[in-house]
Structure 1
Amino acid sequence: MRTFVMGTVLGTLMATMSLAQSGPQVEIETTIQNQMEAFRSDNFAEAYSYASPMIQGMFGDANRFGMMVQRGYPMVWRNQTVRYLELREIAGQLWQKVMIQDASGGLHMLDYQMIQTEEGTWQINGVQLLPSPDIGA
């Protein structure tokens, strides 16, 4: 009986920890996905709303931000598929790795730096284009 109770308590604790760990990742993925959907419909104002205050300050307005993404990150602006990989903490910052297949089928690996606002929502604080993944036949 004691083993059963300990197993049940341990199982419940692990499930709770798993949910707690997956919570931010789901919210972060949703933020990134919402921004990509806004770009797909050329709604630069909405896409801009998912950027952190620092990013917004760098570009000044949604149209300049949208043009930068169109030119510098066309795989984000128009993508075919998106796959969310690991969420990592590096030097106290959260980074979400994302693999994107662009409209012509090319694969791109990006790292999204995420910050949480005082209200608890997540914003994109930067994006890095990582070296392309090695894909073998």
Structure 2
Amino acid sequence: MRYLILSLALALGLAAPLRADEGAQAVISAQIEAFLAQDVARAYGYATPFIQQKFGTPEQFGAMVRDGYPMVWKPSDVIFLDAKDIAGKLWQSVSLRDATGAGWIVEYEMVETPDGWRINGVRVTPAPDATA
């Protein structure tokens, strides 16, 4: 069901011209879908060239996310929150739960590249009980 919802959101998002936050949300959704499918090569493709160069291979990138960001690797209850422009960069906040049920707020730093929006990093904080 989760795959269906993410796929539908992505398909609907691509059907109309995208605002910056909608484009960012589509990329984040697609990367989450790739992680859930354990398709690290596809997930790696949504990272900026800087991140790709930093990790070198999809496998190293996937291991970093799996081991360091389990809430991003296998999330549930994904809810998009506000997007903010901070110092000229788009930060998209997402509320999600990890495999243990803990709530998190993940802020994705998004960069617009010639190939479209890409993820340049995340900041993760525990979600207040009322948010997630």
The counterpart of 1:48, out of the listed 30, 44, 51, is: 44
Aligned AA for 2:72? V
Q: Which residue of 1 aligns with 2:20?
A: 24
Q: Which runs of 4+ in 1 moved over 4 A?
A: none
> Whose Rg is larger?
1
Structure 2 residue 41 is the aligned partner of structure 1 residue 71? no
> d(CA) in 2 for partners of 1:83 and 1:59?
28
- SS of the aligned residue for 1:42 comes to coil
Q: Which residue of 1 aligns with 2:120?
A: 125
Aligned residue pairs total 115
- SS of the aligned residue for 2:54 comes to helix
Q: Which residue of 2 aligns with 1:107?
A: 103
Deviations along 1:4-29, one digit per CA (max 9) or x if unpaired, are xxxxxxxxxxxxxxx98x71111111
Q: Displacement of 1:31 after TM fit?
A: 0.2
Q: Displacement of 1:41 after TM fit?
A: 0.9
- SS of the aligned residue for 2:92 comes to strand
Aligned AA for 1:134? P
- SS of the aligned residue for 1:51 comes to coil
- SS of the aligned residue for 2:105 comes to strand
Deviations along 1:45-67, one digit per CA (max 9) or x if unpaired, are 00000000000011000000000
Q: Displacement of 1:133 after TM fit?
A: 2.5
Aligned AA for 2:128? D
Q: Displacement of 1:103 after TM fit?
A: 2.0
> d(CA) in 2 for partners of 1:26 and 1:103?
26
Q: Which residue of 2 aligns with 1:13?
A: none
Question: Which segment is superposed worse, 59-68 or 110-119?
Answer: 110-119
> d(CA) in 1 for partners of 2:89 and 2:21?
13
Structure 2 residue 57 is the aligned partner of structure 1 residue 61? yes
Deviations along 1:36-83, one digit per CA (max 9) or x if unpaired, are 111111111000000000000110000000000000011111111111
> d(CA) in 1 for partners of 2:72 and 2:86?
23
> d(CA) in 2 for partners of 1:133 and 1:40?
21
Structure 2 residue 83 is the aligned partner of structure 1 residue 87? yes
